[in-house]
Structure 1
């Protein structure tokens, strides 16, 4: 067979092998998902929420200010900005990796004047032949192309690894968004709970002061002793000491919200310092299966992309064991003018191919493969670990919500009983059959129960937030990389 025909056929055959990647590595992770949740509410009493509802779960609290704070946080939070910039960086690196799959074409142009001692010309003169070193003007330019044929898929696998890492950066952005929404909602609910408890405590302090004044009147009338007065003073001072603690807790929560919203810590003081009620309405209970976490939680999706990237990197490392084929071509022109002589100019071209294969590299390639294989084992184990942690998050959130809900129900009944007891004691006192101190004590007991009820009500809301965070609520797969770039690019 003619060698001129054989060489192109050989090249075409090698190029056709690109579609076959003998170094590709499969996904080594197989997760065993439980069939149902252990601590979830009963199916007949639980309300269900579709996955689309998870994107805007906080709107279920029906609190316009909370909605406004979350919108502002999504637009200005610095962690979101950092994660978005990482997405753009990773997308750019995908282009860098994919560029290696295509030929490169370079243009060059050079020119100059030179006088070299090794270029000696004989010139006739009156005394015979005179040797001179003339000045030469040289100009050259052209195009050069080079293409490494990805016969064994190493370059393709590098591009796949970069694409998986870019997808991972998007999942990291989604995870930051999920965490941000949960933090804003949690801090807001806790702030409202602290403000509600502060109001109850202030009522309790006013009641304690009234009781102290009454005991002091009784002491002057000989109906109480100094020990009674001292005990009441101690109780009042202990109750007043709780007020600065609640005030400080409220200020810290406002400052934290300011940072989450991308503002100075004190920027929300006036906006949130006014006490507001806890949201009375809560989002519906999500009812997703454990297997749904694999698609919904960004941290699990991120761990999956890390496995894919590590598997592609391992395949790319294995491809270094095989030969590499490079095709090259160049063409251009050159001109040389030596002083006093006619100018020489001509076009030039070159076509070539090269084949290289590793023979000895002191174990570098094998060590690289071993390191990539160990990396794959790491991310595979991490993927399994994150899945177990995700299951733990959901189970803990279910258990916390059930516990807080049960406590709230019991405390609500206790508050109603305390209110009833107070009214009965007050009615006896109004008819002259009771003691005023007994009325004050009944009212104080009711306020103490109200404080515990407020804490339980806050815990129920926070547990619901934790449940939606555990399910990965707050983002949607409909978001595209282009949307991210357009939103975040200044």
Structure 2
């Protein structure tokens, strides 16, 4: 009888060694060969995916980002989840290795006359044939890599949010100074309008318009203070604290972004985005789940053994200890529920196909987002250049008006108007530079940032 059991075990073991492989689908690289629009800043600073914020050349921003990557709570949460996923994967590595347990328990004879204390060891070993081991490894590997990708995505998001809030903070502080100048220029216009009215050189309508413009300028001058409060508070949250850094409220120059040359940036760079890498790992995980579902159609094979010492505690206590050793195959064969298991295989096949389509959709959407962000940066760069040229022209006009007044060929009203136009041009330049910087930040967020090397397990790599 034992020889027949051994023969059956050997037969099933050989069947388990037969190829039953669930392959990971080939994921198409559907990124375009080139971007549809490119930044034309030839000779500009080369893009840097890892330290892109250093292009601003602002030590304060560098320090804030360094602090945020260390102290931000979302980054820390993602890090803890990654460590948990890695620990869980290491724990699951032994799922198909032999185990050995020591145990004690009581046993009573059927006639209830003798009670025994049994002490011994038992061991079991499931082989993981028919692709069950491979599927299990893929699932745990994908879970670890997904946690790693989430951690990298959190770092990308926090870095972009720190840079965005810092740029808006400095722009608001610079805007506050310009708006104060505009208010001062509007006050001078009101004074001049009052003098002209008193000298019967002007009209009440001119004075009313000047006073209305002054009130509008005063109202607009209150906006930067709110932005400063919002951005400093947002930076505090990003730094993992409730108290904003008081030093940030001191006005400082806005970070200046130089020319950036994206002409050599490959379109395939977008594949570093976290959601694309996450979609890749979802395909790996779905392939693992399908492999396990297919393996469940076949018997589970293994070996089990026990070594037990039995001591009589009641009844026939004079009886010597008995030692028993048993070992044999473990076989579980699906019979009645085979149809349900087959249905699960069908479901897992559909899920794998859906995850492949989701990957393709992620690539298409992310390429479109990156393309739009690149076009947006190009447009904002052009607007910033135009704003700078407009400012230079208005400053030249202001100097001319001041010169004309000084030699007696112009009046104070013309000078006040020229100074106001120059301040408004500075305000427009400030907003244009801010928008260009924000577009730059959004572009690198669209690129996604680099992902650390993903975990691998022999031939079962994290990526197809």
Q: Give the structure-1-normalised TM-score.
A: 0.86
- Determine if the alignment matches structure 1 residue 102 to structure 2 residue 114: no
- Determine if the alignment matches structure 1 residue 85 to structure 2 residue 80: yes
Partner-residue secondary structure (3-state), 2:279 = helix
Per the TM alignment, residue 362 of structure 1 is displaced from its structure 2 partner at its CA by 7.2
Per-residue CA deviations over 1:408-467 (Å, capped at 9, x if unaligned) read 111111111111111111111111111211110111111111111111111222222222
**Where does 1:128-277 land on structure 2 (aligned, <5 Å)?**
138-264=116-242, 266-268=243-245, 270-277=246-253
Partner-residue secondary structure (3-state), 2:221 = helix
Name the CA shift for 1:160/1:385 in 2 (closer, same or farther; >3 Å). Answer: same
Partner of residue 450 from structure 1, selected from 403, 406, 426: 426
Structure 2 equivalent of residue 380 of structure 1: 356
Per-residue CA deviations over 1:67-111 (Å, capped at 9, x if unaligned) read 110011101111111211221221132134322211221110235
The separation in 2 between residues aligned to 1:384 and 1:117, in whole angstroms, is 65
Task: Mark the runs of 5 or more structure 1 residues left unpaired by the alignment.
Answer: 121-135, 482-490
Structure 2 equivalent of residue 291 of structure 1: 268
RMSD over aligned Cα atoms: 2.7
- Determine if the alignment matches structure 1 residue 422 to structure 2 residue 398: yes
Partner-residue secondary structure (3-state), 2:93 = helix
The separation in 2 between residues aligned to 1:323 and 1:244, in whole angstroms, is 75
Per the TM alignment, residue 199 of structure 1 is displaced from its structure 2 partner at its CA by 0.8
Per-residue CA deviations over 1:251-304 (Å, capped at 9, x if unaligned) read 11111111111111x422x2211111112244844533122332x223211211
Q: Tell me if structure 1 keeps the 8 A contact 2:13–2:301.
A: no
The separation in 2 between residues aligned to 1:340 and 1:289, in whole angstroms, is 84
**Where does 1:389-404 land on structure 2 (aligned, <5 Å)?**
389-404=365-380
Structure 2 equivalent of residue 355 of structure 1: 331
Q: Tell me if structure 2 keeps the 8 A contact 1:25–1:312.
A: no
The separation in 2 between residues aligned to 1:97 and 1:396, in whole angstroms, is 43
Partner of residue 23 from structure 2, selected from 5, 22, 25: 25
Partner-residue secondary structure (3-state), 1:192 = helix
Name the CA shift for 1:350/1:478 in 2 (closer, same or farther; >3 Å). Answer: closer
The separation in 1 between residues aligned to 2:421 and 2:391, in whole angstroms, is 9
Name the CA shift for 1:119/1:323 in 2 (closer, same or farther; >3 Å). Answer: closer
The separation in 2 between residues aligned to 1:59 and 1:291, in whole angstroms, is 23
Largest Rg, 1 or 2: 1
Partner of residue 293 from structure 2, selected from 317, 324, 344: 317
Name the CA shift for 1:341/1:90 in 2 (closer, same or farther; >3 Å). Answer: closer
The separation in 2 between residues aligned to 1:212 and 1:153, in whole angstroms, is 85
Q: Tell me if structure 2 keeps the 8 A contact 1:61–1:283.
A: no
Per mean C-alpha deviation after superposition, the further-off stretch among 353-362 and 255-264 is 353-362
Partner-residue secondary structure (3-state), 2:201 = coil
The separation in 1 between residues aligned to 2:126 and 2:183, in whole angstroms, is 81
Structure 1 equivalent of residue 461 of structure 2: none
**Where does 1:35-74 land on structure 2 (aligned, <5 Å)?**
35-42=33-40, 45=43, 47-49=45-47, 53-74=48-69
How many residue pairs get aligned? The number is 455
Q: Give the structure-2-normalised TM-score.
A: 0.90
Name the CA shift for 1:480/1:383 in 2 (closer, same or farther; >3 Å). Answer: closer
Per the TM alignment, residue 20 of structure 1 is displaced from its structure 2 partner at its CA by 5.4
Partner-residue secondary structure (3-state), 1:152 = coil
Structure 2 equivalent of residue 477 of structure 1: 452
Structure 1 equivalent of residue 460 of structure 2: none
Q: Tell me if structure 1 keeps the 8 A contact 2:141–2:455.
A: no
Task: Mark the runs of 5 or more structure 2 residues left unpaired by the alignment.
Answer: 457-464
Per-residue CA deviations over 1:4-35 (Å, capped at 9, x if unaligned) read 5x876875675566665514133153232211
The separation in 1 between residues aligned to 2:260 and 2:154, in whole angstroms, is 23
Name the CA shift for 1:362/1:24 in 2 (closer, same or farther; >3 Å). Answer: closer
